[in-house]
Chains A and B, each alone.
Chain A
């Protein structure tokens, strides 16, 4: 086992998810009914025997802090291990200052005092499965200074817009980290996941901060790419979802209604941990009709649900139809309401509108705690 410190980054304004992000950072988004996105990176780290984990939070920390708590649910050693929330102050003057390097510099003392040899840095807005011990071993075996995790895709013209891509040479050496400009379908999507020695990491962020106040870690790697040995490591699992805008959030949820995909992500040997709410099983009453959906515990279903993801404690009343929707926890879909292609945020009540229908490629959004 290779010892490493796990770092889960916040997206620091690099991505924007309209609506949902007004209330919480992407890592705290509800996912697939019972999870929050941050459960995936933290469970990956925990399952990889990495039990010192830092989660960075900038804006609206409440929901993330509440969800992560002391980290007991992630099965990390309660003495040796530690799940730590690290806060940083975002600039209100200009968001170009809100870099990952600025967040690390705000907490540099903690990074320096840590005893781990390596760091694994992984983002709070992507959903995938990865054994980091394998990645660390490959990194050590290759002798590289930095290893970056990427996923090969063939749909980058339409998807993964504004995420980063890797340009690689034949030996998997990283030539550059660039932005996906949507001009080519075949791309190596950079999973914003880095492995390197902790000492090098600290040197690089100090270097970046000194060079420019608006540099990210990826920027300084681009600049130092000549003198550093930076390699790409291909993510071999089938499933990757990146949440970088509203539609990608919606799609990432509905994609997992393909049971093959879901089984690839959830395996008994690789549990995804989350905070329990001790809600009771789902109650289906006379007249309910449900197909092709994932339903979290605590729901009451009296109406019809098709191809949708339903969060905990949701109530779907008699005659209501929910089609191609993502309904977040504790919402109420009232009697005879028809919803299609919608994301309904937590605690919302859709009662007085006959129907809400949006085009499939531009789903609608109902705000948190709204009554419609």
Chain B
């Protein structure tokens, strides 16, 4: 069935900067914000933008991610003709089993999948950002400009601009230059890793890139520079709103902490742009007789009888009496026993923190990742 635009989510990366959090799951499957996983954001954005077909390009530890997104029902993406398709590298009649050698190669290897929907446009997303965005507005801008490619950009503080891929544009918004992590940035428009391509144009480029031995088959390093050199029309689409790369433990922790602000910018309570997720069958959260809660984001299935201060508690966490959780993220199924104190930490799923343990420090320069059980009385 023909689709105007098909979305492809690049979800193959291991996300090794997330250390032990991604030792068993791919980065897009990492938990976020109490009840979500990172990939819920692009998938929900697709659903809310009226995109029916989403390909999820997986490579690293894709079993959990695959079973999580399969079918797409949690996001309402299970319409007839639509769906969420998990696309690991495949052996084909004309090629052997291969890995995805780069972001562009992941798309190249799925040209047959994309062609089966005969789309006019293709939306390429990454699976590691937290944001809410209407891709259909971006498509309107792409069509209006008659662009070959449209790249979503966000204004970042000038002093941080050298950490990003920066787009230099003319006064009409046309991209004149792309600089990856420039030492002296000329603008503050950072690429969000969100691209819309006119499919015919991109398809031709990908076919050519496939056999280019010098290419790393990467959108940022090869495809975009090639298009600029060839004089293709590339447009910057400026996004305003909350956007966060959660590629490191510190930034993942920070993005969770951002939810504690009453009327925070991401606003997950907004009923007009819901972020959908897998349905949990746990009972509502139970706040016990001795609980003390001051500024917290707590979800279904949690049981709290201790003190929670400026922290985010994910599904099914248990905080026993007299335990103290400060400036901390407790991921699903964690247990904190009596008298334990956890400060400035990100506790990985299922970790058990024993009675009286002391974990993390108030003045630590970076966030402590707790990926293994902590014994009774232990200090970490």
Contact = CB atoms under 8 A, between A and B. Distances in A.
Interface in B270-325: 274-277, 279, 281-300, 303, 312-313
A32 B283 contact: yes
A281 B291 contact: no
B294 A295 contact: no
B334 to A, nearest CB: 15
A280 B34 contact: yes
Nearest to B281: A271
B262 interface: yes
Contacts of A284: 293-298
A259 B312 CA distance: 22
Contact of A281 (B35, B290, B303): B35
B70 to A, nearest CB: 15
Contacts of A279: 269
A298 interface: yes
A300 interface: yes
Given A284-B297, A286-B295, A297-B284, A278 B277 contact: yes
Interface residues of B, number: 36
B185 interface: no
Contact of B297 (A278, A281, A293): A281
Contact of A278 (B33, B274, B283): B274
Task: Give the most central of A289, A295, A298: most B CB within 10 Å.
Answer: A295
A262 B33 contact: no
B291 A262 contact: no
Nearest to B315: A281
B301 to A, nearest CB: 10
A355 interface: no
A271 to B, nearest CB: 4
A63 to B, nearest CB: 19
A69 to B, nearest CB: 13
A292 B288 CA distance: 4
A276 B279 contact: yes
Given A280-B34, A282-B299, A259 B293 contact: no
B262 A285 contact: yes
A272 B282 CA distance: 8
A281 B299 CA distance: 4
Contact of A294 (B33, B286, B291): B286
A32 B262 contact: no
Contacts of B297: 281-284
Interface in A265-283: 266, 271-273, 276, 278-283
Given A281-B34, A297-B35, A259 B288 contact: yes
Contact of B288 (A291, A298, A300): A291
Given A278-B274, A284-B293, A296-B300, A291 B287 contact: yes
Contacts of A88: none
Contacts of A300: 262, 269
B228 interface: no
A272 B283 contact: yes
A139 interface: no
B268 interface: yes
B287 A262 contact: no
Given A280-B34, A296-B300, A288 B262 contact: no
Contact of A280 (B268, B289, B296): B268
Interface string A120-137: 000000000000000000
Contact of A295 (B262, B285, B312): B285
A365 to B, nearest CB: 22
A271, A272, A281 interface centre (most CB from chain B within 10 Å): A281
A259 B290 CA distance: 13
Interface string A289-329: 11111111110101001000000000000000000000000
A290 B34 CA distance: 19
Nearest to B304: A290
Contacts of A280: 33-35, 268-269, 275
Contact of B285 (A257, A282, A287): A282
A33 interface: yes
Contacts of B292: 289
Q: Identify which of B34, B268, B277, B281 gathers the most chain A CB atoms within 10 Å of its CB.
A: B281
Interface string B124-160: 0000000000000000000000000000000000000
11 contacts: A34-B300, A271-B281, A272-B281, A278-B275, A282-B297, A288-B293, A289-B293, A291-B287, A291-B289, A294-B284, A302-B262
Interface of A: 32-34, 72-73, 257, 259, 262, 266, 271-273, 276, 278-298, 300, 302, 305
